[in-house]
Amino acid sequence: MVKPFSLIAVVAFATTLTSCFKDEALNNECDIEKAWIQVDNPDEVFFQPSNAELPDIESTKTDLIFPDLRPNSDVTALPVYFKVTDGATIAPENGSVQNFADGPVTYVVTSEDGQYNRTYRVFIKATDAGTTPDPGDPGDPGDPGKPEEQFDYVNYDFENYFLDPASSKFYVWSDYENGSNWATGNPGFKIAKGSATPDQYPSTPLAEGYDGAGVKLVTSDTGPFGVVVNMRIAAGNLFTGVFDSKSATKAPLKATHFGEGSYNQINYRPVTLAGYYQYTPGEVFKDKSGKVVEDRIDQGDIYAVVFRNVDSEGKSFYLTGDNVLTSPQIVALARVPNVVKTEGGWHNFSVDFNYSGELDPAILANYGYSMAVVFTSSIEGAAFQGAVGSTLLIDKVSIAYKK
């Protein structure tokens, strides 16, 4: 099976761009690296134990969003603990009880040398009562008493996009007011071509989509930098999850965290992935070494995967570029076949999820599964193979599901 795309150039100076850095004897970094909630009755508060912590926090994130707690959980007096960079201090005090009922609580981390600080917002809320079905109740996913044609929908219209707040160099997308459920490899392209304008990045807004704004994904040349690191192309991409620049220098495929984050946890059974697309392959297909592959025509890729988001040790789990289609944690896949050249404007796609087995109702009710939705302009982008100029346009995507 062909691996999915991965954009990711080697980020040689990522730590200097995403952390507080200065050459002095005392530590000058001021990052939160990990956060967790500690309560006496975790089974009554969290849907699953792994929801109590946010491990390995990406250094560019300043909004920390915990998965929703169980309905009626008291969020007015919760102690949150943090692992900060060596020597740094945090205010309010680490582990102090805070009230999250009225919105996020602001924390300030100050470096050991006292010269730098970063402000974080921590979001914690309880799930609204009635939104999470209990196993066996009418309306549960797979309930035989519910008509087969009766579905609910998650809709992605891509209207909410804006320039990255930290750099103003490239676009990002989100379906939520706080935080983001979508990610791209644009941060890596910024390292390869720092002089590029926002509309020259691989993933950009499309002003006139099928209905309103859409997304334009273009396989792009990474220039001299890409030649040096043998990553000559950057496939345009958009996926639900997180791009982790800290991993990019060591293992590029590990930098794409498909389905990571509380926004991507689900308590419903996805049935169909649908939407609209156009695809135009680039003129010349090249392999990773830059050699032209005769008679090879590029393709795009559109798919969604459902997977178990906790591993055998009870730790949080997400998919990465090297296992997003092959991990044994995957329980369902919906993949559009043959995303090849289209003619005559927008084309509709609709493909059902293929399940390897039945979902566990108890796990589902406890948000024990996550979903990743993925689009890329070059199907072999993970191997840095494809055709510069390959273009995938996407709009009005939906997931039909049963509750």
Asked whether residue 201 is assigned to any structural domain, the reply reads: yes
User: According to the per-residue pLDDT averaged within each range, which of 48-57, 145-154, 281-290 is highest?
Assistant: 281-290
Instruction: Kindly indicate the confidence band of residue 385, based on its pLDDT and cuts at 50, 70 and 90.
Output: very high
The number of domains in the chain is 2
Name the residue with higher pLDDT: 109 or 244.
Answer: 109
Asked whether residue 161 is assigned to any structural domain, the reply reads: yes
pLDDT at 15 (0 to 100): 41
- pLDDT at residue 11 greater than cutoff 50: no
Please indicate, yes or no, whether residues 140 and 81 belong to a single structural domain of this protein: no
Please indicate, yes or no, whether residues 180 and 111 belong to a single structural domain of this protein: no
CATH value at residue 51: 2.60.40.2340
pLDDT at 88 (0 to 100): 96
pLDDT at 60 (0 to 100): 78
Asked whether residue 373 is assigned to any structural domain, the reply reads: yes
Range in 62-66, 141-145, 260-264 the model is least confident about:
141-145
- pLDDT at residue 23 greater than cutoff 80: no
Please indicate, yes or no, whether residues 336 and 261 belong to a single structural domain of this protein: yes
- pLDDT at residue 174 greater than cutoff 50: yes
Q: Which tens digits make up the pLDDT trace of 81-102? A: 999 999 999 999 999 999 999 9
pLDDT at 178 (0 to 100): 78
SS (H, E, C) the chain: CCCCCCCCCCCCCHHHHHCCCCCCCCCCCCCEEEEEECCCCHHHHCCCHHHHEECCCCCCCCEEECCCECCCCCCCCEEEEEEECCCCEEECCCCCEECCCCCCEEEEEECCCCCCEEEEEEECCECCCCCCCCCCCCCCCCCCCCCCCCCEEEEECCCCEEECCCCCCCEEECCCCCCCCEECCHHHHHHHCCCCCHHHCCEEEECCCCCCCEEEEECEECHHHHHHCCCCEECCEEEEEEECHHHHCCCHHHHEEECCCHHHEECCEEEEEEEEEEEECCCCEECCCCCECCCCCCCEEEEEEEEECECCCCCECCECCCCCCCCCCEEEEEECCCECCCCCCCEEEEEECEECCCCCHHHHHCCCEEEEEEEECCCCHHHCCEECCCEEEEEEEEEEEEC
- Distance, CA of 192 to CA of 232 (rounded, Å): 10
- pLDDT at residue 330 greater than cutoff 50: yes
Please indicate, yes or no, whether residues 91 and 153 belong to a single structural domain of this protein: no
Query: Do residues 351 and 273 make contact, with C-beta atoms less than 8 angstroms apart?
Result: yes
Please indicate, yes or no, whether residues 280 and 351 belong to a single structural domain of this protein: yes
Please indicate, yes or no, whether residues 96 and 181 belong to a single structural domain of this protein: no
Please indicate, yes or no, whether residues 114 and 143 belong to a single structural domain of this protein: no
CATH value at residue 142: 2.60.120.890
pLDDT at 7 (0 to 100): 44
Average pLDDT, the chain: 88
* Beta-sheet pairing, 330-335 with 285-286: unpaired
pLDDT at 18 (0 to 100): 46
Please indicate, yes or no, whether residues 148 and 38 belong to a single structural domain of this protein: no
Instruction: Kindly indicate the confidence band of residue 61, based on its pLDDT and cuts at 50, 70 and 90.
Output: confident
Please indicate, yes or no, whether residues 139 and 110 belong to a single structural domain of this protein: no
Fill in the amino acid letter for 34: K
Which range of residues forms the domain containing residue 79?
20-58+74-123
pLDDT at 21 (0 to 100): 47
Asked whether residue 1 is assigned to any structural domain, the reply reads: no
Q: Which tens digits make up the pLDDT trace of 115-126? A: 999 999 999 999
Please indicate, yes or no, whether residues 99 and 170 belong to a single structural domain of this protein: no
Please indicate, yes or no, whether residues 327 and 352 belong to a single structural domain of this protein: yes
pTM: 0.81
Instruction: Kindly indicate the confidence band of residue 130, based on its pLDDT and cuts at 50, 70 and 90.
Output: low
CA nearest neighbour of 266 among 213, 230, 304: 304
